Copies of this chain bind each other. A is one copy, B any other.
């Protein structure tokens, strides 16, 4: 029961979202702004629906922090739903409000609706969709931002950018072995347009193509998915372990990313493409430069393995890709479904939704990667205060420069 773990709670239209992250060392500087900037990044993105306007999410840190520094105990955050006034009866916890709004009985293909209603024995699908909604990821982003802040103390940068939307795909991304370039791509994806509503892809030309694709889908009442990269720089060699299946860093990252709503695929480094090449083409050969104190002398010129070999970080940037399916809630092209009660064929319910949420999903991917990496980091370095963890970290980095 050690390490960093995160738990979220809350329904999409409930009173508030709540989350707890445990295990962050003490004396880490932290402020709501550290969290809110990622909440905002999650909400932006070309293709998000109207709800984003309603919900300018702000996290309140309720516990675990005093005078701007962590206390070493669980940090609880709460994000109030701005729209709560409209849902107070419909999502009330009180039995007196039972029936205040009509039941949802038309399950939407591609959502948790049908499986959830069957599993949990509900006639009103709202009881499922409220928790299954990607709104839940707001809390993940909040908790992940705290994990990022912890990792940033060690120079770790976690970022993301969109690599495709629908069938518009970034041209080959090279040099994923270079932290500087990764960070530059990330910065471009973040800042490119001068305002914040972008598709979060590095190239201006492709960005426009992607926005165009989103616009067309919106016009058709259709939706689009896409792919994105999440990376982490400055991860020291040796996080995770080859010694047991559930200690491997790649597996833990894959779970974290695949657990995001609508993600259907995860890759480390070259991923599926590596399966098509010969062994002599994909390995990251090993080189050495006499290191400065606190550095690791061995390095690679390529990073096809995405920074992980044998279930451990190898000192190169961690690079993950993920595929998000298109959002299954279609405005104009309702999918065929069956009414839960009447068993009659019907059209699936339409809940207000986005056309494309890939730019947001990438931000959520950062949060999940941060949670896994922070856990693996603490597992290796131990420490209860940020100073102790740092001293242990430097112990190891100094040892690395001497092997």
Residues of B within 8 A of A73 (CB): 9, 11, 131, 242-244
Q: Are A272's CB and B227's CB within 8 A? A: yes
A215 in the interface (beta carbon within 8 A):
no
Q: Are A274's CB and B244's CB within 8 A? A: no
Partner of A18, one of B62, B224, B280, B327: B62
- A113-B310, A276-B167, A328-B283 in contact; A92/B119 too (CB < 8 A)? no
Residues of B within 8 A of A260 (CB): 245
CA distance A290 to B244 in the complex (A): 45
Partner of A227, one of B275, B282, B297: B275
CA distance A313 to B193 in the complex (A): 41
A277 in the interface (beta carbon within 8 A):
yes
A53 in the interface (beta carbon within 8 A):
no
Residues of B within 8 A of A61 (CB): 93
A226 in the interface (beta carbon within 8 A):
yes
Q: Which of A344-403 contact B (CB under 8 A)?
A: 345, 348, 368, 375, 378-385, 387-388, 391-392, 395-396, 399-400, 403
Q: Are A132's CB and B62's CB within 8 A? A: no
A160 to chain B, nearest CB (A): 15
User: Which residue, A73, A224, A241, A380, has most C-beta atoms of chain B within 10 A?
Assistant: A73
Partner of A164, one of B120, B121, B275: B275
A312 in the interface (beta carbon within 8 A):
yes
A202 in the interface (beta carbon within 8 A):
no
- A243-B22, A268-B264, A311-B112 in contact; A279/B327 too (CB < 8 A)? yes
Q: Are A71's CB and B130's CB within 8 A? A: yes
CA distance A385 to B380 in the complex (A): 10
A149 to chain B, nearest CB (A): 13
The closest CB in chain B to the CB of A371 belongs to B245
Q: Are A265's CB and B271's CB within 8 A? A: yes
Q: Are B338's CB and A286's CB within 8 A? A: yes
User: Which residue, A9, A130, A400, has most C-beta atoms of chain B within 10 A?
Assistant: A9
A222 in the interface (beta carbon within 8 A):
yes
Q: Are A251's CB and B245's CB within 8 A? A: no
A292 in the interface (beta carbon within 8 A):
no
Q: Could you give, for residues 120-154 of chain A, a 1 whenever the CB lies within 8 Å of some chain B CB and a 0 otherwise?
A: 11100011101110000000100000000000000
A124 to chain B, nearest CB (A): 9
Q: Could you give, for residues 329-352 of chain A, a 1 whenever the CB lies within 8 Å of some chain B CB and a 0 otherwise?
A: 110010111101001010010000
Q: Are A272's CB and B323's CB within 8 A? A: yes
A317 in the interface (beta carbon within 8 A):
no
CA distance A111 to B96 in the complex (A): 45
Q: Are B382's CB and A271's CB within 8 A? A: no
Q: Are B120's CB and A309's CB within 8 A? A: no
Q: Are A222's CB and B381's CB within 8 A? A: no
A64 in the interface (beta carbon within 8 A):
yes
Q: Which of A264-306 contact B (CB under 8 A)?
A: 264-272, 274-288, 290, 296-298, 300, 305-306
Chosen A-B contacts, 22 in total, with CB atoms closer than 8 Å, are A2-B375, A7-B7, A10-B62, A15-B63, A67-B98, A118-B296, A118-B315, A131-B243, A164-B275, A246-B259, A248-B259, A253-B258, A254-B259, A261-B310, A275-B325, A277-B326, A279-B328, A285-B336, A378-B382, A381-B392, A387-B399, A392-B395
Instruction: Taking A67-B97, A120-B384 as given, write out 11 further A-B residue pairs in contact, using a Cβ cutoff of 8 Å, ordered by the A residue number.
Output: A7-B7, A17-B63, A66-B130, A113-B309, A254-B259, A264-B271, A266-B266, A282-B326, A286-B336, A287-B336, A380-B384
**Can you list the 9 inter-chain pairs with the closest CB atoms, starting with the nearest?**
A112-B310, A68-B95, A382-B382, A119-B238, A251-B259, A223-B279, A255-B255, A254-B258, A279-B326
